[in-house]
Chains A and B, each alone.
Chain A
């Protein structure tokens, strides 16, 4: 999820508030597909990806494209507006109740000594890991990936070299949202439950992980997400579970103050 966020930030050069809602819509699409297809997980992931991809295109049309010539604050405001609208619509569409995700492994697990590991956890981890590798390849090896990186470094120069900047931004954003949708489905499987309001805090965490790891760096986003998870669990162990969410915000502020480029950041993407 943080990885999807990192692409948006790096490529579009924008902070988005809609990502949480993208995750929610992806998760619900996956959930309904899972119900309809009687537990076909691959189909659910694909549906989540597709739905969020479409949503990403919509977000791009509403929030980014009209405001490219204006300040980034304007686009940020637009994403806030869209985020509120989508979140409330989600409550109307999907109801305010929690939905329980069927577990495809019937809660089976295997034991490693004293540690019990559920198959679902393994599956989620494997998918995430696979996606990371795939994404890394796309970004570094393919033409599309190179276009994305070029645009994220310098839009004008990329345009001068004959790249269709708008198209790259559109695709990058759609891809990022699609990944968000997959992560929504995966999160639903991991926690066994999804909720229309679960997006907001997750988007903040994704953002924190991205900033923490370094804007625009995929490896950084992965490491940032991992470290954030560890810190949060430390906080829960030492204080109380209520303080879990505070940790993310404290880290966010601390990183922004101390080292805005993040741990793996490259210069130039931050503060401009």
Chain B
């Protein structure tokens, strides 16, 4: 009863604050920063669905983001499709690409899967860079039309702010529903112990794939939003460092919590925006944030102590397990 009431108060407070921000922030630059922060909230949350809930280790999230952005930008320029149609298309394009990546590679474990996601992200970026007839390569795609709603053009930063706020609210609502459902619980089970989950009758591979696709879907939507918000995209926006930044946000905020990526993304975006003038230090902030987090508070800002207990419990289990296998080796 009590935690539920607490979270309702928290959500209400968050909603009121985020809705009121454009009323108080008259400065266009600050409003733009706020919009970018929300964009990163969306990206970090979608990455968190993959890394935090099913325990896959994806470090190439920028690839999905890139696919969403380029799909919608190209379709908007070539066929003049409206933003509202492109939003789901961008999402589904990213989700489809996640199948391409996931079907062959998801049976790889931990760091090996991580390396393939990294490779995937770079392949996407390099393809975009080289496929000049379609993507204009390094020149990027300029003049992407801004969205329109009931005859009203989205022009000012405040409009975009409310748009991304709405998308975020929808994403958080849907995700919290999914996580509470059988699917979400299956994801958590896979994260905690894949073998046990399989023994309980969870189709591990299918659920992992679904998880990856769901996370990629929202990254694609974020890409679509970014394309129309910035109205210009180029491969430079989707480097590996972009994926690492998202990773830093998720880690700092706390993996496996809904609140964590929101805090992490907001905090890191504002922090790095403060140091905008010295662009080279921006990435140092992300790097140091990652290092500090895993050294001082591995569960992140919002992470609970509970997760940590599970981790230590799992370790002791693994130790006893390896001991047995060693005995086997010495006998054979």
Contact = CB atoms under 8 A, between A and B. Distances in A.
A73 B118 CA distance: 14
Choose among A71, A81, A271 the residue with the greatest number of B CB atoms under 10 Å from its CB.
Answer: A81
Contacts of A96: 280
Contacts of A242: 126, 129-130
Nearest to A239: B130
- For chain A, what secondary structure do more than half of its interface residues adopt (helix, strand, loop), or is it mixed? helix
6 contacts: A67-B294, A80-B287, A81-B294, A96-B280, A242-B126, A249-B123
Interface stretch (B89-97, B107-115, B179-187, B197-205): B107-115
Interface residues of B, number: 47
Given A77-B247, A253-B120, A156 B111 contact: no
B173 to A, nearest CB: 29
B2 interface: no
Interface in A225-260: 240, 242-243, 245-246, 249-250, 252-253, 256-257, 260
B123 A271 contact: no
Contact of B288 (A76, A85, A91, A211): A85
Contacts of B315: 69-70
A25 interface: no
Nearest to B286: A84
B114 A88 contact: no
Contacts, number: 125
B291 A157 contact: no
A74 interface: yes
Nearest to B122: A249
A88 B284 CA distance: 6
Given A245-B122, A271-B109, 6 more contacts: A73-B110, A77-B247, A77-B290, A80-B59, A84-B283, A85-B288
A86 to B, nearest CB: 8
B61 to A, nearest CB: 13
Contacts of A271: 108-109, 112
